[in-house]
Every structure is written in C-alpha cells, then in structure tokens.
C-alpha cells in the first residue's frame, strides 16, 4: 500500500540535502518550511490543518527531526538556522531516537465502537439485545445510538449487526505499540513512556499523519563525508527497496555520495548465522537446554530487558549482523567511520550502544540523499565488494530467514529433526503476550523473533509501506546468491520453515 507520507518525507529529506549541498545551509534553512508547503500552490495535507502558517509549523518540526532534534529539544521562537548550526557543531547524539510532532499530531482521542449512517434501525435489534451493558438506544429516525460512558468496548454490537453498520475506531499509534508505551489523554495529546518503549517504530509506521519523527543522523554524516574515511554498511533488506537497481548499483550511488567504500551487512549476517549455529549446538544439542532465541533484532532485545527478563537466559549471545559488519571494517582501520544503513528505527538505538557503529541512516534517508544530490542510479558504476556474502546472510531480511540460515549451518552429523524452529512474525500486542508466556508452553527449541511483521524488509525506515512484492524481490535476489560453503542446505522461505504461532 502506498501513501502520501512517503513522497512527503522524501521531499523533506531531499530539500534538506539540497540546502546543505548548496553552500548556504545556515543562510537558507529558515526558508525550507515555506518552500515545502508549496508556495502559492499551497493545499492542506490533512483535514485538521486550517492555514499555510499551521502547515509551515508542522514542516518546521519535520525539518528539525532531519537536523537531529526531537520534541522537547526545540521551541517555536528560535530560528531553524540556530539548530542547523548546533547540528554542525555536535559530536554525538543521544536517546530518545524519536519523538512526537506536537504541531502535526491529530490528537486522536476516540477509541471504541460507534454507529454509522448505514444503520437501518432493524426490528430484530441484535446490537441492543446482545449488549451486556444495555447501553444502546434508538433515535427518532430508528438508528442505534451507543452510550459511550457505559460502553465496555466488548464488540458484541459490532459482531451481531447484520448490516456492518457498527465500526470499531482505534488510535493507530496506541494500537500499534506492543508494550503500552504510547500514552493517551482525554485531550488526545500523545506521549511516549520511554521506560517501556522498545524503539521498534511501530507507532511511527502506524500514524497516518506522520507525527512520530525519528532523530536523524543525516547532517552528522553529510558533514564528515568530504573529510573522513567513511564506510557505508547497508543491511540485507536493501535489495527490495530501490526498484530495478541491485545492491551493486545502490552501493555505486553511495560511493558517488562520498562514501569511501561499502561493506555488505549480509556478510555480517553470514557470520551471525555461523555463530548462532555453533551456539545452538552448544546450548541445545550438547547441554540439553530447552530453547534459544535469536538476538539480531534490537527492538526484541529491548523488549526482553524491559518486559521479559525471565527470557534473558534463553537469548543468544551472538552479536547482530550490524556489529559483525562494522567490526570487520574497524578491524581493517580503527579510524574509519562506520555508517549502518537499514530499514529499522531500533537500529538507531543500537548504534548508540554499539562500539563499532558510529552512525545510522535508514533506507528512506538514503533515497532522499540520492534525490537531493541528483544521483541517477542508472548511470553509476557498479560496486564490487571485498567480502562476499551468501544466501544465509541475505535471507535474514525476511521472517523465517534467520532460523533457516542457522539450521543450514549446523554440523552435518546433527539430524534435520533436532532443530524445531518457531517464528514470532511481528510484535502485535497478541504476539507480545504470547512470547511473554513462551516458557509456560515451549513449542520449539530455536525461536526467531522479528518485531516487524514480515521481517526487517518491512521496517519503518523504508522508502514506502511494504507489500508482498518486497519479500518476493528479496527472494529473487537470494536465488542469485551462493550458499555458504559450510552450509548443508538453505531452508526455502515459506517452504522449509513456516511461521508457527506461539500458543499461550
């Protein structure tokens, strides 16, 4: 599904990049909100926007996020160029990795069931008869009315209406948060409880107003590209997000942007799979432990530390593919600056904690970088990688891929039936609760956890909302890869290993 938010964010990023590269960054940055609203051609981008001035204030907050600032770190009166100067002068970023646009928030506040104009006021009245609180009455026109003060949101009226005239309306960002970190108020103002937040970015992807804004490293990277040795480290899931341009051409574009070289994080995923296979053999096969979970998703690790400490002993000790890739770069030259490029907001948080990764950019930011820098990927020189990645690393991008890769790299003397994979495909609120209860009903011994449904290829930092075509593109790219020489088989996604629901 495509939305208007994708081109809007691309436009903001590309305009910031153009401003930076113009040589008049400080002088012209204050003009960007007016430019982004379209000048004399202004049209409101949402229903609650009443004026061009209001729209400009929303764009101002979005520009601030690209400059690396989140709400609480800026005010309405200080000019943008002051924050631009601060971005040029800073040497590091800190948590939180995203915030809420107070100007752009729709302040959604209704969460429950209500009756639409499709109600026919039927004689059988199943909505009223089946309501346990008897909070449904009927107006003069015969249509049903729900008393929201008495309604317990059980959904029985919704279930029994023969016309589908009753609908459930929820707050998207609140509903998308698996751990109750997105807080609402009677006025509709949203806040994030960072003591609970796992930085997954689910709220960011769910908000139809683009109100959840990431803290970007864009300026930090742009300012060092001309003067430092900077290596780009793109994640395996990049293969699906730049149309017909494969990783070699996207990497060629990164070189044209000014990066010194490119390290394919799929190579780091290869190393991750090899190490997790060895760890599985040690824990499960030799020491007869109940189960081991994967460790490559930082949002999952956050969830374990904050909400499921009882599972800490079961989590693999293997570092993430990002760490393996950036460590490889640092081993060659400790002075090199490493920039991870991925689809994930949680990686912004992991970068702050990881000693070998200096900065993090997302795919949509790279898309905006290419556009703002005038780079045409059809005209770049394809890039040749020093470290060769294999299928095992590439399939990390899609749910089932990590478990499949680990299984393929177990020693040949271990029978196929020994590994019993369980795939937690996405942190819906239901899956979150089921995983929390996993020890009460163990259904497998290798638990792959992907907080984003579908896998990393569906992360909130991608250029657009993803479709099944995304994973199809990744599978096509994987088919062209060679298996790791130490592997005995590569489990085919949706074939050898299928997602298994975790039961309570």
DSSP letter at 255 equals H
Q: Which two tokens stand for residue 295?
A: 């460790």
- Using the CB atoms, write b or e for 115-139: b if 16+ within 10 Å: beeebeeeeebebbeebeeebbeee
Per-residue pLDDT, 476: 64
Per-residue pLDDT, 421: 92
Residue 277 · residue 316 · CB < 8 Å: no
pTM of the model: 0.89
**Which residue stretches of 247-388 are H helix?**
247-257, 265-280, 298-307, 321-332, 346-353, 363-373
Residue 241 · residue 348 · CB < 8 Å: no
Residue 206 · residue 175 · CB < 8 Å: yes
Architecture in CATH of 112-169: 2-Layer Sandwich (3.30)
- Using the CB atoms, write b or e for 85-97: b if 16+ within 10 Å: ebbeeeeebeebb
Angle between helices 429-436 and 298-307 (to 10 degrees): 60
CATH of domain 230-479: 3.40.950.10
Residue 350 · residue 302 · CB < 8 Å: no
Report the 10 Å Cβ neighbour count for 187: 7
Domain boundaries, the chain: 5-107+174-215, 112-169, 230-479
d(CA 429, CA 261): 41
User: Does an H or E element contain 60, and which?
Assistant: helix 52-66
What is the DSSP code string of 158-200? HHH-TT--EEEE--HHHHH-TTS-EE--TT---EE-TTT----
- Cα angle at 280 between 200 and 444, to 5 degrees? 70
**Positions of the chain with pLDDT under 50:** 465-466, 489-504
Question: What order do you get walking across the sheet with 446-450 strand by strand?
Answer: 292-293, 446-450, 421-425
pLDDT tens by residue, 445-476: 999 999 998 888 888 888 754 455 555 666 66
What is the DSSP code string of 404-443? HHHHHTS-TTS-GGG--EEEEE---HHHHHHHHTGGGS--
134 Ramachandran zone, left/alpha/beta (phi>0; psi -120 to 50): left
Per-residue pLDDT, 460: 87
d(CA 486, CA 409): 6
d(CA 266, CA 273): 10
């Amino acid at each position: 599904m495509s939305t208007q938010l994708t081109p809007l964010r691309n436009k903001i990023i590309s305009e910031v990049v153009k401003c930076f590269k113009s040589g008049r960054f400080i002088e012209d940055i204050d003009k960007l909100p007016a430019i982004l609203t379209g000048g004399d051609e202004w049209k409101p981008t949402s229903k609650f926007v009443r004026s061009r001035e209001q729209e400009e204030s929303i764009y101002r907050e979005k520009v601030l996020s690209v400059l690396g600032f989140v709400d609480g770190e800026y005010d309405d009166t200080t000019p943008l160029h002051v924050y631009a100067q601060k971005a040029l002068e800073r040497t590091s970023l800190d948590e939180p990795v995203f915030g809420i646009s107070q100007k752009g928030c729709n302040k959604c506040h209704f969460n429950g069931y209500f009756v639409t104009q499709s109600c026919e006021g039927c004689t059988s009245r199943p909505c009223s008869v089946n309501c346990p609180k008897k909070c449904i009455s009927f107006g003069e026109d015969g249509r049903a009315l729900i008393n929201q003060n008495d309604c317990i949101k059980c959904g029985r009226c919704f279930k029994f209406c023969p016309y589908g005239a009753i609908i459930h309306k929820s707050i998207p960002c609140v509903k998308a948060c698996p751990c109750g970190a997105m807080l609402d108020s009677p006025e509709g103002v949203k806040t994030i409880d960072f003591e609970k937040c796992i930085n997954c970015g689910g709220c960011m992807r769910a908000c139809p107003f683009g109100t959840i804004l990431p803290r970007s490293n864009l300026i930090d990277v742009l300012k060092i590209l001309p003067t430092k040795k900077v290596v780009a480290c793109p994640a395996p899931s990049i293969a699906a997000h730049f149309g017909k341009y494969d990783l070699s051409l996207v990497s060629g574009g990164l070189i044209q942007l000014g990066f010194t070289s490119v390290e394919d994080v799929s190579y780091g995923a290869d190393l991750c799979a090899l190490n997790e296979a060895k760890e599985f053999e040690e824990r499960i096969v030799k020491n007869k432990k109940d189960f081991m979970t994967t460790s490559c998703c930082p949002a999952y690790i956050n969830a374990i530390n904050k909400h499921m400490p009882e599972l800490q002993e079961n989590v693999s000790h293997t570092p993430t593919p990002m760490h393996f890739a950036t460590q490889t770069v640092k081993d060659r030259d400790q002075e090199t600056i490493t920039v991870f490029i991925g689809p994930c907001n949680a990686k912004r948080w992991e970068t702050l904690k990881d000693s070998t990764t200096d900065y993090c950019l997302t795919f949509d930011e790279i898309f905006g970088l290419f556009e703002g820098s005038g780079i045409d990927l059809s005209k770049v020189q394809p890039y040749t990688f020093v470290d060769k990645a294999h299928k095992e690393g590439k399939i990390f991008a899609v749910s089932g891929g990590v478990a499949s890769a680990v299984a393929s790299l177990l020693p040949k003397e271990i029978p196929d039936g020994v590994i019993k994979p369980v795939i937690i495909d996405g942190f819906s609120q239901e899956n979150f609760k089921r995983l929390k209860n996993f020890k009460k009903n163990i259904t497998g011994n290798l638990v792959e956890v992907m907080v984003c449904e579908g896998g990393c290829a569906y992360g909130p930092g991608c250029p657009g909302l993803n479709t099944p075509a995304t994973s199809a593109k990744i599978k096509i790219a994987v088919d062209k890869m060679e298996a790791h020489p130490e592997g005995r088989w590569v489990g085919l996604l949706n074939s050898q290993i299928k997602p298994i629901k975790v039961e309570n």
